[in-house]
Amino acid sequence: MSYEIDVDEADIDVLEKNLLKSKELFESIDKSLFKIANKSQKASTTIKPVLSQVNKLTKSKEDVEKGLALLEDVSASAEKINNFENILNNPVDTIGIVRYMNTLNQSKTLFKTVKPKFKQFTGILYNFEQLNDRSERKIQEYFQSLIRQDGNKLVEKKEDIKMIFKYFQEQENDEYVNRLYLRARSGKLLTVLKPYEQSTVAAARENNRPYEKGSNGITQYTDIMINEVGQEVNLLRSCNLPVTFIGTIIEEQIFKYNEIIMKYNQVFSSPSLIIDNIVLILEILDNLNKFKYNLHKNGISNEEFNKTMGLFVQQNSVIFEEFILSVSKRFNNLPKFTENSTQEVIVEIMSKLRKLSEFKAGLLQLIKNHQLGDWVKSAQFAKVFSSVIINTNVDTSTPDFLLSSFYSDVIDDIMVSIELGLKMDQTMKKSTQGFILVKNLFMLESIVNRSQDLFNSLGPLGMERIGKLKNRFLKLFLEDWNHASFIIIRDMTNIVSQSAIAGSSSGTTSGTGGGPVSNLSNKEREQVKELFKNFNESFEQALATYSRYNFGDVGLKRYLGNEVKKLVMNAYFKLYDKYGTSDFTKNKSKYVKYDKIEFEKLLNERL
């Protein structure tokens, strides 16, 4: 279905008129807009300078406000800086390290804050930066001054040290502060010990003047060094610093200590110097061991020190052989062997040996690399006699056994040297030689007994060896008494033997039992008379010789008297029991001078 539109002519006309009116209206509007645009352009030209000026005024106002705010900020900061300066310009110890460092930290923080804002205030920034730098140097100077003080005093200021270390660590400058600390403490240690170095020099002494223990300054030097090292370790622990720092702190001081020890090695370069300074050598070794122990206790190991100590031990291990040779040499130079002269030498040598024994640890260290008897290979006495006792149950390689053997060998050397010297006097009786030897050994033993160190080191085996020497010399001393006893035994045996040969036809009973005899033959009577006569002469001679001895020690006299009694009394009692009451003579008092009671009483009174 289609639609058709009926267009009216009138309507078209109306539409056309309306279009014309619209066109006119649009043209009128265009003109009005043009006028408006023209007027607006004129107005814009007139208002624009005003707006520009307003904008300028607005910006100036903002700048003024910013400037005023900046000035206000500068003023406030300047007041803070002034407060910091009032504190930081004072000495650190006046303010106190804690407050001083806190103030400096605040000051440095403020500087970082204001530096980008106050660029135009160069004077303020420059002075502020100088204040902080100057204050930090003052802390460093205070720290360096602080760590040069005595270790015990520093422990009291450990909190200050902790604070300073923390400060530098926060600045990531811990290597610098560590270096300052180590250098200062090392220098302090050297400074403390420097005045004592001269006292360690091995001073020359007059001939034959022995070294007195402690007269050299090495012990004082070592003790002070050990004490100072202990203080340093304690300080490190108190300040929570690494204890391993101690190795660096004492490195230079150990180098100095090694130099001192090496100088000793140069001094003790000959056997005579070693013997003259043997106590000093052991004293030095004692101090080396003491120092090494303290190093180990603090976890320190120094290779150079260990090498120096090892060299010292190696060089001076010859003291045992040299001491033995010096004993022999001393007796070889003795002009005459008498009771007094030999006693003087014994006291001299045993005094040295006693002083040596006070350094047991050092002696054990020196002797441990030796073998038994190394020190007597070239000694003359060992070819004559040795009191060595073989005991397969004893380990002869231990340092303690070796040291005991050395002491016993020295005693052997002393006594055998005296024995050989006394034998050179052809006019001296063996019994007198024996008395001098026993008396000297008795005195020597008393010296041993009074020296706890020497006595303990000798031990039971060493004392047994002294006993072996004593038995050797006792036989010499009893020579006269042995002769008197021998007369009894010999002649009684002869009488009995001859009586037995003659048979029993004579009716005598001289050969039977141990009781008294009767019906002696004329020959037997004469033999008994001769027996009593010879015994009396020998006994009285021995008693007279004995009476001339100067015993000095009551214990010695008692000891020798008992030995004589044991030997003579038993023999005489047998003689008396056999013939003392027999009818061998009518003048019995001429031959039988003592009965058993009288004989024992005489011995008790005279011996």
Average pLDDT estimate for 165-178:
83
Token duo for residue 456: 């303990």
Q: Residue 565: which pLDDT band, with cuts at 50, 70 and 90?
A: very high
Q: What is the pLDDT of residue 50?
A: 47
8-state DSSP, 210: P
Average pLDDT estimate for 507-514:
47
Q: What CATH topology corresponds to 478-500+516-606?
A: Monooxygenase (1.20.1280)
Query: Residue 56 CA to chain centroid, in angstroms?
Result: 90
Q: Residue 558: which pLDDT band, with cuts at 50, 70 and 90?
A: very high
What is the percent of the chain where pLDDT is above 90? 46
Does position 478 have pLDDT exceeding 70, yes or no? yes
CA angle 371, 377, 378 (to 5 degrees): 150
8-state DSSP, 390: -
Token duo for residue 557: 């006299």
Q: Residue 544: which pLDDT band, with cuts at 50, 70 and 90?
A: very high
Q: How far apart are CA 482 and CA 490, in angstroms?
A: 12
Check if 15-148 and 478-500+516-606 are the same fold.
no
Q: How far apart are CA 428 and CA 451, in angstroms?
A: 33
Q: Residue 505: which pLDDT band, with cuts at 50, 70 and 90?
A: very low
* CA distances from residue 94 to 87, 90, 146, 148, 168 in whole angstroms, order as listed: 10, 7, 14, 19, 21
Does position 11 have pLDDT exceeding 50, yes or no? no
Does position 121 have pLDDT exceeding 80, yes or no? no
Average pLDDT estimate for 582-600:
88
Q: What is the pLDDT of residue 49?
A: 57
Q: Which residue has the tokens 């004593």?
A: 470
Does position 295 have pLDDT exceeding 80, yes or no? yes
Among 158, 162, 136, residue whose Cα is nearest residue 149:
158
For the stretch 39-96, pLDDT in tens is 656 655 555 554 555 465 555 555 555 555 556 666 677 788 888 888 888 888 788 7
Token duo for residue 196: 């004592």
Cβ–Cβ < 8 Å for 582, 528: yes
Cβ–Cβ < 8 Å for 356, 282: yes
Does position 110 have pLDDT exceeding 90, yes or no? no
- Counted residue by residue, the chain has a size of 607
3-state DSSP assignment of residue 478: coil
3-state DSSP assignment of residue 231: helix
Q: How far apart are CA 521 and CA 277, in angstroms?
A: 75
Q: What is the pLDDT of residue 6?
A: 40
The beta-carbon contacts of 155-160 under 8 Å, at least 24 apart in sequence, are 155/234, 155/235, 155/238, 158/235, 158/238, 158/239, 159/98, 160/97, 160/98
**What's the mean pLDDT when you consider all of the chain?**
84
Q: What is the pLDDT of residue 502?
A: 65
Q: What is the pLDDT of residue 7?
A: 38
Residue 505 is which amino acid? S
For the stretch 281-294, pLDDT in tens is 999 999 999 999 99
Does position 477 have pLDDT exceeding 50, yes or no? yes
Range of lowest pLDDT (159-163, 482-486, 548-552): 159-163
Token duo for residue 137: 């140097």
Does position 5 have pLDDT exceeding 50, yes or no? no
Q: What CATH topology corresponds to 15-148?
A: Methane Monooxygenase Hydroxylase; Chain G, domain 1 (1.20.58)
* CA distances from residue 282 to 151, 247, 254, 279, 360 in whole angstroms, order as listed: 31, 27, 20, 5, 9
Q: Rg of the Cα trace of the chain? A: 57
Domain boundaries, the chain: 15-148, 172-301, 478-500+516-606
Q: How far apart are CA 90 and CA 112, in angstroms?
A: 23
Does position 340 have pLDDT exceeding 90, yes or no? yes
Among 446, 470, 440, 448, residue whose Cα is nearest residue 346:
440
Domain 172-301: CATH class, spelled out = mainly alpha
DSSP string spanning 490-523? HHHHHHHHHHHHH-GGG---TTSSSS---S--HH
Average pLDDT estimate for 524-545:
91
Q: What is the pLDDT of residue 204?
A: 76
What is the percent of the chain where pLDDT is above 70? 86
Q: Residue 515: which pLDDT band, with cuts at 50, 70 and 90?
A: low
Range of lowest pLDDT (159-163, 334-338, 400-404): 159-163
Among 463, 428, 425, residue whose Cα is nearest residue 444:
463
For the stretch 410-467, pLDDT in tens is 999 999 999 999 999 989 999 999 999 999 999 999 999 999 999 999 999 999 999 9
Q: What is the pLDDT of residue 513?
A: 46
Q: Residue 501: which pLDDT band, with cuts at 50, 70 and 90?
A: confident
Q: Which residue has the tokens 């004989």?
A: 599
